[in-house]
Structure 1
Amino acid sequence: MTHRFPLTRRLAALLLTATALGAAAPVALRAETIRVAIGTQDTTINCATGGLLIRELKLLEKFLPRDGRYKDVTYDIQWRNFTSGAPLTNEMVAGKLDLGAMADFPGSLNGYAFAKAGRRSRFIAVLSGSLRGSGNGIVVPKESPVQSFADLKGKTISVPFASTAHGLLLRAVTAQGWEPGRDVTIITQAPEVAGAALLANKIEAHADFVPFAELFPWRGFARKIYDGAQADAPTFHGALADGDYAEKHPEIVTAYLRAAIEADRLIAAEPERYSELIERVTGIEAEVAYLFHGPLGLQTRDLTWKPAYRQAVKTSFATLKLLKKADSDIDLDRFVEDRFLRAATAEAGLDYAARLKDEAPLPLRANDAATGQPITDASRVAQVWVRGEAKVRPYAAPETAFAALAELERQGREARAVYAQDRGTGIKLFATQAWYVRDPKGALSAFLLKGDAQGYATAQGGEVLDFAAARASHTQLSAR
C-alpha cells in the first residue's frame, strides 16, 4: 500500500533522516567557495611582488583568512597573466578578475573604465616605483647616431598606446616645446613588435615601460637615450581591486597585500635568487631583473602611497583627458585607498607612517669586495655578477670593479653583468652601456648619456670615455 503523508509529515520524516545521518548535512550546506581571481603582468617585472612571486611561492595561501566568517571557506584561487594593463582592466570590468597589477597610467584608465560601467575600482597599493620617473625609457637602434631625445625631432617614435610610457613620451615631447604630428610622429607598437623593428632598423625610436628600455639594450640591439628620471615625474606600478569585491571581502584584499609585503621582504633579502626565479618564469634575464630589484635598483619597491605617487595618478588623469581617453573626473581620494594596506602593514608588524616618509632606494649595505672596507658613498658604486656565483660583488668605484674584471679574465672566468650608478641621477646602469669621465686622478664616474658625461667633464675636468676605453685606460694606469 502506498502511504500519502501530508506535506508537514513528509518534511518531518526528511528531517529525522537527516538527523540520523549525523551533523554532516548542515555543515555541507554552510560551506562556501570564494573566488580570488588575480590578473598579473609577469613580464612587467616591477609587478612581481604583486603577482609572479606571490603565485610561484604560494604566499597568498599563507595569509588568506581561515577563521570567523571564513572558517569553512574553500578558496578558488585563479591567476591570469597579461602583457599590458588594458586587457587586464577589461577582464576586471567584466567581473572575471577581483584584483590586478599595473602601472599608474593604465591603472587610472582602470578607474575610468569602472566608472563608465557604473562601478568603482580602488587603487590599493604601490608595488614598485620611482619618485623621479625612472623605469620608463626611450631606446634607438644600436647603431643609430641619435644620442639624446633632442635628436629625435622630425623622426617617428613608437610606443604602446595608453601605457605609462605613452604618458612619459608625451611629457618629453612637451618639455622640448614640440607638438606630436608636427615635430615628431608617434605611432602605436607593442613591445614584442618594437623589439623586432629595432633589430631590423625599421623604427627610429621606441618608448616603453618596465623592463623593455633596459631589456632591449641588454639583448644587444638597442641603446637607451632617455630615462624617465630626466622627466622628473613620478611613476609606479601598483595593485587595484574591484570596489564591490573589496567591500564584500576586505579581509581577502588585506591578505593579498600581506602576501605582497612578504614577497617584497623576500626579494629585498635575496635579490639574485628571486631574479633567477623571474627569469625562469618569464624568460627575462636575471641580470635585467636585478637591475630593478637589487640594492640601489632602477626603481624602489615601496607599497606606501607617497604624495608623489598620488600626484602621478592625478597627472595620469589629466593626460588621459588630453588624449580624449576620458571625459570626466574621478575623485582621487576615493580612488586611491590605503586602508587595506595600512591593515596589512599593521598585521606584518611594520610602521606604515615611517615607511611613508622613507624615500630612499633599497640600500647597499656591503663591504667592497676588493678592500673589505664598508661602502659609504653610493655615487660611484659598481657591481659585478660573476658567472657561477650566487651573489653580486659590490665595489666602491668603477676602477676597482674593472680591476676585478681583469683578474677574472686572467683566471678564465667571466662576468654575467657589470653595473654602475649614474653620477648625476643615481640610477642603476649596465656598465657596458654607460659613458665615463676619468678625472685627472684616474677616478671614474659613470653616466647614461654622453652629453651628461661631457658636461661633467667640462665642469669638473676630465676625459669622456666609453666602457671599453674606460677599462683600457684604467688597465694602463694600473700597469704604470
Structure 2
Amino acid sequence: MNKLLKNKLATTAAVLSTLLCSTNVLAAKEVTIGYQGMFNPMKYAIDQKMVEEKTGYEIKWRKFDSGARAITAMAAGAVDMTVAGSSPIASAASNGVDMELVWVMENIADAEALVVKNGSGISSPADLKGKRIAVPFVSTTHFHMLFALEQFGLGEKDVKLINMQPNAIMAAWQRGDIDGAFIWDPALGSIKQDGSVLITSKQLSAWGKPTFDGLISSKTFASENSAFVTEFISVIADVDAQYRDNKETFSPTDPMAVSVAKLAGGEAEGVVEAMSLYEFLDVDTQLSCQWLGCGVEGGATQALQATSEFLLKEKKISALQPDYSVFVNPSYAEALQAQ
C-alpha cells in the first residue's frame, strides 16, 4: 500500500470517527419533560417514543399530579419543559419564573367540571354554601372555582374549599369526606358516576375567563434547543391531527386510547368520552389572535393577564407583571407552520 493511499485511509477513518462521536453526542443529549394526567394525544406520542425517534434526544418523562408541582419543578430547574394549566402558568409568569408558553395543548372546554355528589343536597349554586368542595390549589380548576363563586354571588368563606390532588379527591369522594370537586379526568369520570355536573369550564370560559393547558419551556433551554422545541411540537401536532381526523370512529381499542389510559391512568373506555370534551388546536389556530398570535392582544396573553389579576385579587400572587406577552413565544409554532 503506497504512502498516499495510507494517508487517505487515515483521513477517512478520522472523519468517520468524528461523525460517529458527533452522532453519539446528539443521541445522548438529555431533556427532562413534565406531563400531567390529562387525556390527550400527547400520551400516545410519549408511549410510542415518537419524540425520541423524531429528535434523537434522550428524554426523561416526569409525571406530575398538578400544574403547581410542575411549575415548582421548572422553577427549581428540575425540568426543561412541562405541561401545565393556564392558572399555574399565569402564577409562574407573575412570580418571574424563567419560562415561556410555546404551544396550547388543548382548550379545556368541558374537560374540567364542578361535580357535586349525589345526596349532598346541592342542586343549584346557592346550595354550595357551607359545603366541602375539593380542588387542587393554583390549578385551572381552582381559578375557575373562584370565578364561579364570584359569579354565583358567593365568597371563599361561604364554601369550604379543600386543597386536594386528583388521586386524593377520588379517595375522599369514596369515603364521603367531600360534597363536590372541580377536577379533570380520570378523577372527573370517576366521580361523575356518583354525582352530577353543576358547571363546566366551557361555560365559565364563555363568561370571560378562558382556561387552557399549555406546553411551557425554560427560556434558556428553548433558545439553546430551538430545533428540538419545533420538532417536539410537530410531533404533538401530528398526533392531535390523527385524533381529529378519526374522532368520529375513535374507540377504546384504538392504540391511542390504550396509550392514553396507560399513561394518564383510568380505563380505555373512559378515554373516548374524556378526549371528546377537549378541543385540540391545529397550528394555524394556535397562531391566530385567539391563542398564541397578536402579541399583547393575543388570547393566550390576555388569558394569562386576566388569570393573574384574579390570582392577585385572591392573594395567590403578590404582584403583576407589566407585560405578559413576553411569556408567550409563537416562534416555534411559526417555524412549524413554515415547514
Query: How far, CA to CA, are the matches of 2:224 and 2:51 in structure 1?
Result: 18
Match of 2:195 in 1: 222
Cα offsets for 1:336-380 (capped at 9, x unmatched)? 111101211332xxxxxxxxxxxxxxxxxxxxxxxxxxxxxxxxx
1:389-404 aligned within 5 A:
none
Deviation at 1:314, TM superposition (A): 1.9
**Which residue of 251, 259, 277 maps to 2:235?**
259
* Partner SS for 1:122: strand
Q: Decide which of 195, 205, 211 is 2:180's aligned counterpart.
A: 205
Q: Which residue of 1 aligns with 2:105?
A: 127
Alpha-carbon distance between aligned partners in 2 of 1:287 and 1:27, rounded to the nearest angstrom:
48
- Rg larger for: 1
Whether the aligned pair in 2 keeps the contact of 1:214 and 1:224 (CA below 8 Å) is no
Match of 1:139, SS?
strand
Paired with 1:311 and 1:287, the residues of 2 have a C-alpha distance of: 36
The partner residue of 1:343 within 328, 335, 338 is: 335
Equivalent of residue 299 in structure 1, options 265, 269, 278: 278
* Change in 2 beyond 3 A, CA 1:106/1:25: same
Does the 8 Å contact 1:122/1:335 carry over to 2? Answer: yes
Indicate conservation of the 8 Å contact 1:164/1:209, yes or no: no
Distance 2:106 2:264 in 1: 18
Compared CA separation, residues 25 and 288, structure 1 to 2 (3 A):
closer
Q: Of the candidates 128, 133, 136, which is equivalent to residue 160 of structure 1? A: 136
Distance 1:76 1:281 in 2: 19
TM-score in terms of structure 1 length: 0.59
Map of 1:19-418 to 2, 5 A cutoff? 22-23=13-14, 26-27=18-19, 32=25, 33-41=28-36, 43-45=37-39, 48-50=40-42, 52-64=43-55, 75-113=57-95, 115=96, 120-130=98-108, 133-181=109-157, 183-217=158-192, 220-231=193-204, 232=206, 233-270=209-246, 271-272=250-251, 273=254, 274-293=256-275, 297-302=276-281, 304-305=286-287, 306=290, 307-330=298-321, 331-347=323-339
Task: In structure 1, list runs of 5 or more residues that go unmatched.
Answer: 1-15, 65-73, 348-480
**CA distance 1:36–1:93, shift in 2 (3 Å):** same
Partner of 1:427: none
The CA distance in 2 between the partners of 1:337 and 1:20, in whole Å, is 44
Alpha carbons of 1:281 and 1:179: their partners in 2 closer, same or farther (altered >3 Å)? Answer: closer
Shift in alpha-carbon separation, 1:135–1:75, aligned structure 2, 3 A: closer
With over 3 angstroms needed to count, the CA separation of the structure-2 counterparts of 1:216 and 1:320, relative to structure 1, is same
Cα offsets for 1:157-199 (capped at 9, x unmatched): 2211111110011001111222211x22222122222222222
Report how far residue 28 of structure 1 moved: 6.4
- Distance in 2 (CA, whole Å) between partners of 1:239 and 1:21 is 44
Asked if the contact 1:36/1:75 (under 8 Å) is kept, the reply is: yes
Residues 44 and 83 in structure 1, CA contact (< 8 A), matched pair in contact too? no
Post-superposition offset of 1:79: 1.2
Displacement of 1:234: 1.7
Secondary structure of the structure 2 residue equivalent to 1:239: strand
- Structure 2 CA distance for partners of 1:143 and 1:126, relative to 1, 3 Å: same
8 A Cα contact 1:198 1:222, kept in partner: no
Give me the whole-angstrom Cα distance separating, in 2, the residues matched to 1:221 and 1:154.
20
Q: What RMSD, in angstroms, separates the aligned Cα atoms of the two structures?
A: 2.5
Q: Residues 110 and 209 of structure 1: is their aligned pair in 2 closer, same or farther, counting only changes over 3 Å?
A: farther
SS at match of 2:91: helix
Does the 8 A contact of 2:52 with 2:58 survive in 1? no
Contact 1:136 1:227 in 2 (8 A): yes
Distance in structure 2 (CA, Å) of the matches to 1:187 and 1:127 = 27
Q: State the one-letter code of the partner of 1:243.
A: K
| Alpha-carbon separation, structure 1, partners of 2:93 and 2:201 | 24
Amino acid at match of 1:332: Y
C-alpha contact 1:158 1:188 (8 A) present in aligned 2: yes
Structure 2, gaps ≥5 residues long: 1-6, 291-297
Q: Which has the higher contact order (CA 8 A, sep 6+)?
A: 2
Is the 2:45–2:236 Cα contact (8 Å) retained in structure 1? yes
Contact 2:186 2:265 in 1 (8 A): no
Comparing both structures, which one devotes a greater share of its residues to helix? 2
3-state SS of paired residue (2:41): helix
- Provide the rounded CA distance (Å) in 2 between the counterparts of 1:20 and 1:287: 60
Q: How many residues align?
A: 305
Tell me if structure 1 keeps the 8 A contact 2:101–2:329: yes
Distance apart, 1:39 and its partner CA: 0.8
Amino acid at match of 1:216: I
- Whether the 8 Å contact between 1:84 and 1:102 is mirrored in structure 2 is yes
* AA of the residue aligned to 1:327: S
Could you say if the C-alpha distance between residues 21 and 309 of structure 1 is closer, same or farther in structure 2, counting changes exceeding 3 Å? Answer: closer
What's the CA shift string for 1:213-262, capped at 9, x where partnerless?
33321xx3332222223322322111011100111111110000101011
Task: Write the letter of the residue equivalent to 1:44.
Answer: M
Range with greater deviation from structure 2 (201-210 or 165-174) = 201-210
Q: 1:91 to 1:139 in 2, by over 3 A?
A: same
- The question of whether the paired residues in 1 share the 8 Å contact of 2:112 and 2:201 is answered with yes
Q: Matches of 1:206 and 1:229 in 2, distance apart?
A: 16
